[in-house]
């Protein structure tokens, strides 16, 4: 047990970078950006939480509506207004390409997310799977709970409970 | 059937203020997973109805986002919009920048990429800056910064030389549309640089003032032109230049 | 009541409206009822003078400029009527601590001036993209000496009239936003005027819609929509 703990600690150490490296200017910048992002997220969450929400239907309805005040999002405008043509300002030209590529990439990712199965959906599917598997095994293996059902025991304790209560009633 | 519980009328049609654009569909059946409905500029909620408060054409995207496409001159600050501003004053900690809205915005001295207390860009009154609105809401003074969320400039900052002109916000969105034609057509003929602010201000810089004036004229005239007309116009202007 | 309205003249003079003529304003309209015409320019949301600032909503200001001379008491009273009407249509809470200014320049006065001002202001506000709850349409009705009701009277008819009533209606529920009157009239006459004016207001709302559609169709990006709509109408 102690050994395992040690190994975990070692791998953790290996992952983090040295103090000196972290102190360097360029590392600090990304660190700062990360921190800022984190703060912004936290702020957003705090604001969301601070909103007073009525517990009735009205509150639920409001949640389904979001205001998007920017035309940039609505009309899919280019992410930056700076453009250069015929190599007047190559730096701007390069930047424009980069930013539009970034935006396209982000859009692609969103689309991909929609196409692929999300964690939530996976969990949902797995949930329904448990039901069917439960049914299949339910009849035959009532007498001896083997390791397969043991696993599900932990996943759906409520279900198991119900079955236990029902049994004596029928008898 | 749409995923949200609103029934929209008048999509791609002209709507006027007060028009009820959508009503809540009254269904007993509760949809398990609903998609968030996004309302863009020009639409507001009133009880169970969605009502237009501006005139224009109702547009939709993916049947989850709705907005009113209209053309106006006055800019209303929106968070994260990139705008072109004019420095009007210099305060203790920030510049005062006019962005064409009802109130001037503040640009902190340190809101530039890599700016420190000792090393920061010096702007004079009348200088132009291209920046992002980091704070913009109706109750507070807007705040401008010249960095993106990661602290990078990404093209934002002071604009040197060149020529600034103002136009309607409708033209701005045409210029910034990925399918926008004017700048691309001009870009094939002239070598120049432009910065389009979402506040209806565009800055153009080129090798000579003759070219700049011509480009500005071509952009201004393009507002109500079709693609073929734009091409024709640009070539006509370019011909005139050569003579 | 239908009989009453048919016996009176419910016709409007020809309406015309041109939008966006002024370059420096945020929105403008040249609106005319027959020979009466007003040039309206609006600004906003713009910076507000400190003493007029309202913390939770926008300040609506109306300035009326007569063709000649300086505005007097009558003009000031008119400004107030127009201001109150416009104030009710604008969603002032959307732009707190800012000014929404409406400047009305008289071009020609041939009766029904207040109506023309309000209708012109409404179109100019649409042109400027002010956030609005609804549209307003104003109608002036004159009760002539023989008791007949004449809507949208000329200056001559106004002179001969025993009473002049001005109403404005909002476009959503067609409710009365403004009611102003001058002269003597009976309750029945007032009610008939109200009904007749409401019919006329509908005509003005239709006119608003067609002029806005025409202005928008100037834009290339809306062209396809309007063509599609026109073909639908032809069918």
- Supply the CATH number for residue B233's domain: 3.30.1370.10
The arithmetic mean of pLDDT across residues C38-63, rounded, is 94
Set of chain A residues whose Cβ sits within 8 Å of the Cβ of B59: 74-75
The arithmetic mean of pLDDT across residues A2-16, rounded, is 57
Q: Which of A15-19, A102-106, C110-114, C140-144 has the lowest mean pLDDT?
A: A15-19
- Token output for B99: 């962005």
User: B173 and A65 in contact by Cβ < 8 A?
Assistant: no
In angstroms, what separates the C-alpha of B208 from chain C's closest C-alpha?
28
In angstroms, what separates the C-alpha of C73 from chain B's closest C-alpha?
31
In angstroms, what separates the C-alpha of A41 from chain B's closest C-alpha?
12
Domain boundaries, chain C: 15-227
Both B97 and B127 in one domain: the answer is yes
β-pairing, B201-206 vs B163-166, is antiparallel
Both B210 and B144 in one domain: the answer is no
Set of chain B residues whose Cβ sits within 8 Å of the Cβ of A99: 154-155
Cβ burial of A125 (10 Å; 0-12, 13-18, 19+) is exposed
For residue C234, pLDDT over 50 is answered with: no
| Residue A77, helix vs strand vs coil | coil
Touching C (3+ Cβ pairs <8 A), the chains are B
- Token output for C176: 């009365």
- B74 inside domain: no
What gap in Å lies between CA C60 and CA C49, rounded to an integer? 12
Highest mean pLDDT among A35-49, A102-116, C132-146: C132-146
CB-CB: which of C45, C127, C212 is closest to B14? C212
For residue C182, pLDDT over 70 is answered with: yes
- The helix (H) or strand (E) run that includes residue C18 is strand C15-19
Of A40, A1, C132, nearest to B149 (Cα)? A40
User: C26 and B73 in contact by Cβ < 8 A?
Assistant: yes
User: Residue B36: pLDDT band by 50, 70, 90 thresholds?
Assistant: confident
End-to-end CA distance of chain C: 35
User: B198 and A81 in contact by Cβ < 8 A?
Assistant: yes
Set of chain C residues whose Cβ sits within 8 Å of the Cβ of B70: 129
- B76 inside domain: no
For residue C5, pLDDT over 80 is answered with: no
Confidence (pLDDT) at A2 = 53
Q: Which of A6-10, B86-90, B190-194 has the lowest mean pLDDT?
A: A6-10
For residue B169, pLDDT over 60 is answered with: yes
Number of A/B CB contacts below 8 angstroms equals 134
Interface B:A, ≥3 CB–CB pairs < 8 Å: yes
Last residue of a domain, one of B15, B44, B69: B69
Q: Are C181 and C163 in contact (CB under 8 A)?
A: yes
Confidence (pLDDT) at A162 = 45
Last residue of a domain, one of B144, B159, B174: B159
For residue C210, pLDDT over 60 is answered with: yes
Q: Which of A72-76, A163-167, B168-172, C146-150 has the lowest mean pLDDT?
A: A163-167
The better pLDDT of the pair C75, A28 is held by C75
- Mean pLDDT of all residues belonging to chain A: 72
Both B135 and B177 in one domain: the answer is no
In angstroms, what separates the C-alpha of C47 from chain B's closest C-alpha?
5
- B182 inside domain: yes
Set of chain B residues whose Cβ sits within 8 Å of the Cβ of A76: 61, 177-178
Cβ burial of B11 (10 Å; 0-12, 13-18, 19+) is middle
Interface C:A, ≥3 CB–CB pairs < 8 Å: no
- Tell me the per-residue pLDDT of B194-225, one tens digit each, with 9 for 90 and over: 999 999 999 999 999 999 999 999 999 999 89
Q: Are B143 and B103 in contact (CB under 8 A)?
A: no
CA dihedral for A102, A104, A107, A108, sign (positive or negative): negative
For residue C108, pLDDT over 80 is answered with: yes
For residue A104, pLDDT over 60 is answered with: yes
Which ranges of chain C would DSSP assign to H, the alpha helix? 2-7, 73-89, 113-128, 155-160, 187-217, 220-234
- Tell me the per-residue pLDDT of B63-100, one tens digit each, with 9 for 90 and over: 889 999 989 999 999 999 999 999 999 999 999 999 99
In angstroms, what separates the C-alpha of B194 from chain A's closest C-alpha?
5
In angstroms, what separates the C-alpha of B65 from chain C's closest C-alpha?
19
User: A81 and B154 in contact by Cβ < 8 A?
Assistant: no
Buried b (16+ CB within 10 A) or exposed e, B177-201: eeebbbbebbbebbebbbbbbbbbb
- B28 inside domain: yes
Q: Does B70 touch chain C (CB under 8 A)?
A: yes
C21: how many CB neighbours lie within 10 A of its CB? 12
| Claim: this prediction has a pTM higher than 0.95 | no
Confidence (pLDDT) at A138 = 61
The better pLDDT of the pair B22, A119 is held by B22
What gap in Å lies between CA B199 and CA B176, rounded to an integer? 12
CB-CB: which of C91, C98, C216 is closest to B14? C216
Both B140 and B118 in one domain: the answer is yes
- B75 inside domain: no
C119: how many CB neighbours lie within 10 A of its CB? 29
Q: Which residue has the tokens 């042109």?
A: C127
For residue B171, pLDDT over 60 is answered with: yes
- Tell me the per-residue pLDDT of A29-71, one tens digit each, with 9 for 90 and over: 888 888 989 999 998 888 877 776 655 554 445 457 888 889 9
Set of chain B residues whose Cβ sits within 8 Å of the Cβ of A121: none
Last residue of a domain, one of B159, B175, B206: B159
Q: Which residue has the tokens 């032109």?
A: B225
User: C128 and B76 in contact by Cβ < 8 A?
Assistant: no
Confidence (pLDDT) at A14 = 57
Both B134 and B178 in one domain: the answer is no
The arithmetic mean of pLDDT across residues B106-122, rounded, is 92
CATH of C15-227, one of 3.40.50.300, 3.40.50.1100, 3.30.70.1280, 3.30.230.70: 3.30.230.70
User: Residue A148: pLDDT band by 50, 70, 90 thresholds?
Assistant: very low
What gap in Å lies between CA A93 and CA C4, rounded to an integer? 72
- Token output for A84: 């250069």
- The helix (H) or strand (E) run that includes residue C176 is strand C176-183
User: Residue C8: pLDDT band by 50, 70, 90 thresholds?
Assistant: low
Backbone angles phi, psi at B174, to 5 degrees: -70, -40
User: Residue A158: pLDDT band by 50, 70, 90 thresholds?
Assistant: very low
Confidence (pLDDT) at A141 = 53
Tell me the C-alpha to C-alpha distance, in Å, between residue C170 and each of B68, C117, C132. 21, 15, 11
User: C44 and B74 in contact by Cβ < 8 A?
Assistant: yes
- Closest CA in chain A for residue B3: A64
Q: For the packed helices B169-176 and B182-189, what is the interaxial angle rounded to 10 degrees?
A: 60
Confidence (pLDDT) at B218 = 95
Both B59 and B119 in one domain: the answer is no
Of A44, A53, A107, nearest to A78 (Cα)? A107
- Closest CA in chain C for residue B229: C220
In angstroms, what separates the C-alpha of A9 from chain B's closest C-alpha?
32
Both B95 and B27 in one domain: the answer is no
Cβ burial of A86 (10 Å; 0-12, 13-18, 19+) is middle
Strand partners, B58: B68
The arithmetic mean of pLDDT across residues C190-202, rounded, is 93
Q: Which residue has the tokens 């090798």?
A: B207
The arithmetic mean of pLDDT across residues C114-122, rounded, is 97
> Does the structure's ipTM exceed the value 0.85?
yes
- Closest CA in chain B for residue C22: B73
Backbone angles phi, psi at C42, to 5 degrees: -125, 150
End-to-end CA distance of chain B: 60
Domains in chain B: how many in total?
3
Q: Determine the structural domain holding residue B138 and report its residue range.
A: 81-159
Set of chain B residues whose Cβ sits within 8 Å of the Cβ of C175: none
- B235 inside domain: yes
- B119 inside domain: yes
Q: Does B147 touch chain A (CB under 8 A)?
A: no
Number of B/C CB contacts below 8 angstroms equals 94
What gap in Å lies between CA C87 and CA C82, rounded to an integer? 8
For residue C181, pLDDT over 80 is answered with: yes
Confidence (pLDDT) at A32 = 84
3-class SS letters over chain B: CCCCCEEECCCCCEECCCCEEEEECCCCCCCCCCCCEEECCCEEEECCEEEECCCEEEEEECCCEEEEECCCCCCCCCCCCEEEEEEEEECCCEEEEECCCCCCEEEECCCCCCCCCCCCCCCCCCCEEEEEEEECCCCCCCEEECCCCCCCCCCCEEECCCEEEECCHHHHHHHHCCCCCHHHHHHHHCCEEEEEECCCEEEEEECCHHHHHHHHHHHHHHHHCCHHHHHHHHHHHHHHHHC
What gap in Å lies between CA B160 and CA A92, rounded to an integer? 14
| CATH code, domain with B47 | 2.40.50.100
Both B150 and B179 in one domain: the answer is no
- B215 inside domain: yes
């Amino acid at each position: 047990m102690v050994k395992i703990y040690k190994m975990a600690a070692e791998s953790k150490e290996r992952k983090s970078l040295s103090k000196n490296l972290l102190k360097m200017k360029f590392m600090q910048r990304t660190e700062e950006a990360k921190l800022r992002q984190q703060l912004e997220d936290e702020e957003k969450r705090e604001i969301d939480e601070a909103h007073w929400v009525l517990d009735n239907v009205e509150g639920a309805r409001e949640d389904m509506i979001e205001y998007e005040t920017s035309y940039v999002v609505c009309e899919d405008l280019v992410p930056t207004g700076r453009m250069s043509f015929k190599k007047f300002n190559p730096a701007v030209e390069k930047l424009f390409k980069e930013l539009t590529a970034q935006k396209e990439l982000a859009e692609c990712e969103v689309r991909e997310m929609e196409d692929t199965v999300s964690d939530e959906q996976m969990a949902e599917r797995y949930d329904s799977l448990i039901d069917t598997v439960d049914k299949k095994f339910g009849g035959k293996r009532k007498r001896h709970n083997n390791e397969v059902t043991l696993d599900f025991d932990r996943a759906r304790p409520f279900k198991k409970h119900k079955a236990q209560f029902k049994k004596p009633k029928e008898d | 059937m749409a995923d949200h519980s609103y029934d929209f009328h008048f999509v791609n049609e002209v709507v006027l203020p007060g028009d009820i654009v959508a009503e809540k569909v009254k269904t007993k059946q509760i949809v398990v997973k609903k998609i968030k409905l996004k309302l863009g500029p020009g639409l507001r909620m009133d009880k169970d109805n969605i009502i237009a408060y501006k005139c224009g054409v109702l547009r939709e995207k993916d049947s989850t986002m709705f907005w009113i496409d209209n053309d106006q001159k006055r800019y209303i600050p929106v968070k994260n919009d990139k705008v072109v501003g004019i420095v009007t004053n210099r305060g203790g900690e920030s510049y005062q920048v006019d962005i064409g809205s009802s109130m001037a915005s503040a640009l902190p001295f340190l809101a530039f990429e890599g700016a420190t207390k000792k090393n920061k860009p010096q702007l004079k009154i009348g200088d132009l800056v291209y920046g992002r609105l980091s704070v913009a809401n109706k109750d507070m003074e807007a705040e401008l910064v010249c960095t993106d969320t990661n602290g990078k400039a990404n093209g934002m900052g002071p604009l040197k030389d060149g020529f600034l002109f103002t136009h309607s916000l409708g033209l701005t969105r045409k210029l910034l549309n990925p399918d926008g034609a004017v700048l691309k057509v001009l870009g094939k003929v002239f070598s120049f640089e432009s910065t389009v602010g979402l506040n209806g201000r565009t800055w153009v810089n080129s090798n000579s003032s003759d070219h700049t004036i011509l480009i500005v004229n071509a952009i201004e005239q393009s507002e109500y032109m079709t693609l073929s007309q734009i091409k024709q116009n640009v070539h006509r202007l370019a011909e005139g230049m050569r003579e | 009541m239908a009989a009453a309205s048919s016996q009176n003249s419910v016709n409007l003079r020809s309406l015309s409206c041109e939008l966006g003529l002024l370059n420096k304003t945020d929105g403008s309209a040249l609106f005319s009822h027959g020979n009466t015409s007003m040039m309206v320019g609006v600004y906003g949301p713009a910076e507000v003078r400190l003493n007029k600032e309202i913390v939770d909503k926008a300040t609506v200001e109306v300035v009326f400029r007569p063709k000649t001379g300086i505005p007097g008491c009558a003009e000031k009273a008119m400004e107030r009527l127009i201001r109150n009407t416009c104030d009710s249509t604008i969603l002032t809470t959307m732009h707190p601590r800012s000014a929404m200014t409406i400047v009305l320049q008289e071009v020609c006065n041939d009766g029904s001036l207040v109506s023309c001002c309000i209708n012109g202001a409404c179109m100019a506000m649409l042109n400027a993209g002010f956030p609005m709850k609804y549209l307003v349409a104003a109608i002036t009705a004159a009760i002539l000496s023989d008791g007949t009701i004449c809507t949208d009277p000329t200056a001559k008819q106004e002179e001969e009239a025993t009473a002049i009533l001005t109403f404005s209606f909002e476009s959503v529920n067609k409710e009365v936003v403004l009611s102003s009157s001058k002269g003597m009239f009976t309750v029945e006459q007032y009610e008939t005027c109200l009904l007749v004016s409401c019919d006329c207001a509908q005509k003005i709302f239709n006119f608003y819609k067609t002029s806005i559609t025409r202005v928008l169709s100037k834009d290339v990006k809306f062209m396809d929509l309007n063509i599609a709509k026109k073909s639908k109408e032809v069918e």
